[in-house]
Each structure stands twice: as C-alpha cells, then as structure tokens.
Amino acid sequence: MPRKTIDVTRWLQADGLADDAIKLDIEQGDSRSSPVRTSRHSLQEGQGTHVLTPYFTNLDGATLSDLDNRIFFGEGLILRFKFPEANIGIGQAEVEEGAGGAIHAGDIVFMANLGGEENSPILTPQAAKWLVEQEIKLVGFDEAFQVDVADRYETHKVFLDAGIPIIRNLTNLDSPVGLRVAVMALPLAVSKSASSPCRVLILD
C-alpha cells in the first residue's frame, strides 16, 4: 500500500549568506559549453540535518564508514513534546510516557519539540540511558531540541558510547500522523568521518 513520504531534512543553504555558511561558487556556462559550470561547496560541521558517529566524542569510536548501513533504515517512532519555557529537562519518565510502550528493540527514535526553538528542552543523560536500554539503533532530534547542556556532551556520549548515531536538526516532525513510522536516512558516503550531512525521509 502506498505511504506518504515526508522530507524531514533541513536543507543546507548554498548562497553563503545563511547561517549554514555554505559557499557555492559557480562558473558561467554549462556542460555543453565552455567554461563548464562547476560547483564548490564548503561545509561547516554541524550545519543542516547531519549525523554524528561515535568517533565524534571518542577517537576510538566508529566512524561513518565503520557503521552498518542497516542502522539508517527501518521502523521507529516519533516522540513529541511541548513545553512552555526553555531548558526544561526531559527525563526518563517523560520519555517513557511519550513512547507509551511502543518502542521495540532495533527501532529508530526521533524526538520533536512542538514548542518552538524559544522553548527548547534538554534531554537528560538518564533518559538517554533508558533509550539505550530499549536497544534502539538510531536517535534523532529536531532543530528546536537540545540534546545536551552546551558543550558538555554528556547525553551525546551516552548514545555514541553505545554505538547509536545521533541525527541533529530534523524538521517537519509534526507532519506524520501516527506514532510509528518508517525511516530512511542517507548520510554522504564520506570515509572515516565523524559526521556528515544527512537526507532523512519518513514514510507515514
């Protein structure tokens, strides 16, 4: 049966003017003329929708090319939260309630903050440990969600030390109707990388 496909990627901006700070140099002409049109991209780490691998916090951790491709495809669910103010911690109790017993081993779990960036919550390391205990294989957060207290990376390390990659800056997670979805995430094929831009689609 056909399913609705939802793009939950925050696209990188190639004008060099936006916050993504991506530079795109274009020569005049196209492939049928001279000079040939060429593009040169310069990407700052952590921009747009991107995935972090265990190598991000541990020099002995798995890089992008070390990971099993099956991590980035499969079934999962979207946990949605809405808070009236910023920096509220989301603990194990809130995550368990949001999941409603629907997490299965091998799932992909995405978290959405419906309160907007000005009311961004923070996932606690304890909540992350509970998700690891559920044997999830991939976790993702929308752009209005803080994974950690700034520059501490405690929650990052809980996931990454368990071999669970983290996808940051997802969008449109309020669009799927159901709790459970199918996920297809496509990082760039960059060997030995700690992170990579990632195109993420949801089948609702």
Model pLDDT for residues 86-144, shown as the tens digit of each residue: 888 899 999 999 999 999 999 999 999 988 888 889 999 999 999 999 999 999 999 98
* Of 70 and 88, the one with more pLDDT: 70
Q: Rounded distance, CA 90 to CA 152, Å? A: 16
On whether the CB atoms of residues 169 and 138 are closer than 8 A, the answer is no
pLDDT at residue 26 tops 60? no
pLDDT in tens, 138-182: 999 999 898 987 778 999 999 999 999 999 999 999 887 777 999
In this predicted structure, the answer to whether residue 34 has a pLDDT above a threshold of 80 is no
Pairing assessment for the beta strands 5-7 and 138-142 based on DSSP bridges: unpaired
Domains detected in the chain: 5-10+46-203 (3.50.30.50)
- Coil, strand or helix at 127: helix
Give the span between the Cα atoms of 165 and 29, in whole angstroms. Answer: 41
User: Pick from 14, 9, 7, 15: which is nearest to 48 by CA?
Assistant: 9
The percent of residues above 70 in pLDDT, for the chain, comes to 83
Amino acid symbol at 49:
T
Task: Give the Cα separation of 54 and 88 in Å (integer).
Answer: 26
Residue-level pLDDT at 13: 74
- 21 pLDDT band, cuts 50/70/90, is low
Task: Quote the CA–CA distance of 111 and 58 in Å, as a whole number.
Answer: 24
Considering the entire predicted model, what is its pTM?
Answer: 0.89
Handedness of CA 47, 56, 142, 87 (dihedral sign): negative
According to the model, what pLDDT value does residue 178 have?
76
User: Is pLDDT above 80 for 46?
Assistant: no
